Copies of this chain bind each other. A is one copy, B any other.
Amino acid sequence: MATHGTRGGPAFPLPGGRARVGTRGRPFRRAGGHTSVSGGTAPISKLGEFALIERARTLLGNESDPRVLVGIGDDTAALQPTQGKILLVTCDTQVEGTHFRRDRMSAHDLGRRAAAVNLSDIASMGGAPTFALVSLSLPPDFPLSDFDDLFRGIGDQFRAFSAKVVGGNLASTAGGLVLDITLLGEVAPNQILTRSGARPGDRICVTGSLGASAAGLRAIERFGEAAETFFPELVRAHRLPSPRVLEGQEIARSGIATAMIDVSDGLAADLLHLCDASRVGAVVHMERVPVCRELLPAAERLGESPEILALSGGEDYELLFTARAGPETDETLRQIADACGVALTIIGETVPKEEGTWIVHPDGRRTPLTAQGWNHFR
């Protein structure tokens, strides 16, 4: 007896309704060493839903955790929150054809990337990630080996930051793959950083370097597989962004920071978000904006502006934060950079809102800083 649109009960509740077989998905690009021997190219429809859940649970490789009272397999996950901490909760979706193409990214990388993007959101509040739910809509002909690689990638990325998958949802779809991850985190009440705490005269700082992810994507689009040979750092920055989780916690703990955001839409767009929320203006010095060493030669070969890539490229997943001015801040930034092994660069300062938002170019010209981020629905 077939039911329509039913939803399974367990905390990986189950694929809903009658699966309508969609158009055959393009294969995921194969990543070295991650293809499951046992899974092969068999479609997930060969396994029942409970077998898939059990498989996901095994692939995620959770160790037992006294904070998880009920994990994968019941109607909801039940967790023991840390007393006195603020609860953080965020979600982010990777949609096939919009955020990724299966022929350009391995399933393992997609899983890591989806987890990384969520980790970056928790990092941007100064939080520690804790528990995740994985909600996956996928076509019935999806290869079991890719299913395995996807969950291995998710598990690997979360495990690196001590986060655990405690539940989720599997659903079938006639469309492309949709991977939606919800991530919980926690932060001490006196350490939480939002977008709205910046005051005029604060330093504007950024972790790591900018523009590499956007340049990596353009290199992949232009050169295909060869992009990895020419510009390995850029391709890696696009496929596997490094969420700045520890950096975010150190910055929050240090007490010098006043506001923080992660760079997902691009430095310009995200700085404007921060300025809007904090009701301040900003001046950014272009020559101080950190870029990786491969960006300049890549931009030249691609015929792109390195400045535009660095300001507006997006998907950097670095942290952009403001800090009170003063020698104490400079010293603290040095200490955090040393402790985390990452560059921390002061790229400008906030100003009163009425003074606006500006880029100062190396020749001294000032041009208005505007969001160049892509408007996804226009």
Contact = CB atoms under 8 A, between A and B. Distances in A.
A375 B195 CA distance: 45
A229 interface: no
B133 A91 contact: yes
Nearest to A43: B377
B9 A95 contact: no
Contacts of A5: 98-100, 217, 314-315
A70 interface: yes
Contact of A167 (B49, B90, B140, B166): B90
A60 interface: no
Contacts of A125: 70, 74-76, 78
A378 interface: yes
A173 interface: yes
A334 interface: no
Contact of A121 (B1, B13, B195): B13
A192 B78 contact: yes
Contacts of A124: 9, 75-76
A41 to B, nearest CB: 16
A277 interface: yes
A377 B48 contact: yes
Interface residues of A, number: 107
Contacts of A372: 1
B47 A14 contact: no
Contacts of A14: 265, 376
A77 B118 CA distance: 12
Interface string A186-217: 01000010111000000000000000001001
Contact of A16 (B44, B214, B312, B376): B376
Given A100-B5, A140-B377, A178 B173 contact: yes
Interface in A15-49: 15-20, 44-45, 47-49
A376 B95 CA distance: 21
A313 B48 CA distance: 19
A182 B185 contact: no
A69 B45 CA distance: 43
A154 B112 CA distance: 31
Contact of A6 (B166, B168, B261, B373): B373
A137 B1 contact: no
Contacts of A184: 87, 89
Interface centre among A6, A14, A16, A185 (most CB of B within 10 A): A6
A336 interface: no
18 contacts: A4-B217, A5-B100, A5-B314, A5-B315, A7-B264, A8-B265, A9-B265, A14-B376, A48-B375, A48-B377, A52-B377, A78-B125, A78-B194, A79-B88, A90-B133, A91-B168, A93-B171, A135-B180
Given A16-B376, A75-B262, A91-B135, 20 more contacts: A1-B372, A9-B261, A9-B262, A17-B376, A18-B374, A49-B375, A74-B196, A75-B195, A76-B127, A81-B81, A87-B184, A89-B167, A91-B167, A95-B172, A95-B175, A99-B171, A171-B376, A173-B178, A174-B176, A180-B180
Interface of A: 1-11, 13-20, 44-45, 47-49, 52, 69-70, 73-81, 83-100, 117, 121-122, 124-125, 127, 131, 133, 135, 137, 140, 166-169, 171-176, 178, 180, 182, 184-185, 187, 192, 194-196, 214, 217, 261-262, 264-266, 270, 273, 277, 308, 312-315, 372-378
